[in-house]
Structure 1
Amino acid sequence: MPDLLTVIIRDRKGVVWEGEAAAVTGRNVKGPFDILPEHANFISIISKKLIIKTPDKKSREFNVESGILQVRENKVMIYLGVK
């Protein structure tokens, strides 16, 4: 079982952040949610804030006006600025 997620955050200009994460926390219309390694395939419209927990136990926070988050095969793709 993989211990980490591969995360890529993009906006219209290119890659904003790329790296490995222990967890990703986002928010959709139902409220906050967490993505952990081995998460089921998942797609959601996200807003407000995105938190990436890095393997060294630090947090990277990104303000999100709108975006799409997709999880597939332990890879999290986040597209910011998509409505």
Structure 2
Amino acid sequence: MEKRLHLSMVSPVRSMFAGEVVQVTAPGVNGSFTILPNHADFISELHPGEVKVITVDGMTQYYAVSGGFLEVHRNEVILLAETAERAEEIDIQRAEASKKRAEDRLRQRKADMDDARARLALLRAIARIRVSGKSS
């Protein structure tokens, strides 16, 4: 039985991670899930939230993603993120300002407002704030 996974995490602008890991936790649309070695083949849509990666040397790394897809096939994990940021890259003031703007938009509820888009903006901001407090 294999004791590790190979993870490739990419966004449209860069490769975020490529290497051997022992665990990946990601935010699915129906809740968070964890992938361990020898996981069944699997595909999931991702929700805005936190990705937690534990490398083979025991280091834990955190990323904020705004959505995307994850595929597992024969201990190979491919995570395609719409956007992704490492915990240490997140500007907390900017994330908090984004959260406030999204909350204000949802409170004002104008007729021409896209409710779903405003809720997603709020979820992205919350994910960035949560992840920013975690060190890799």
TM-score using structure 1 length: 0.91
What is aligned with 2:70?
69
More strand by share: 1
* Deviation of the 1:14 alpha carbon: 3.3
Rounded to whole Å, the distance in 2 between the matches of 1:50 and 1:41 is 19
Structure 2 residue aligned with 1:35: 35
CA RMSD of aligned residues (A): 1.3
Q: How does 1:16-35 map to 2 (within 5 A)?
A: 16-35=16-35
Report the AA paired with residue 27 of structure 2: R
Indicate the residue corresponding to 1:9 in structure 2. 9
Task: Work out the CA distance in 2 between the residues paired with 1:6 and 1:30.
Answer: 24
Deviation at 1:20, TM superposition (A): 0.6
The 2-side partners of 1:44 and 1:78 are apart by 10
Code of the residue aligned with 1:20 in structure 2: it is: E
Q: Give the number of the structure with larger relative contact order, counting CA–CA contacts within 8 Å between residues 6 or more apart.
A: 1
Alpha-carbon distance between aligned partners in 2 of 1:16 and 1:56, rounded to the nearest angstrom? 18
Of the two, which has the highest radius of gyration?
2
| Structure (1/2) with the larger helix percentage | 2
Does residue 58 of structure 2 align to residue 57 of structure 1? yes
Tell me how far apart the structure 2 counterparts of residues 51 and 11 of structure 1 sit (CA, whole Å).
16
- Name the count of aligned residue pairs: 82
- Gap runs ≥5 in structure 1: none
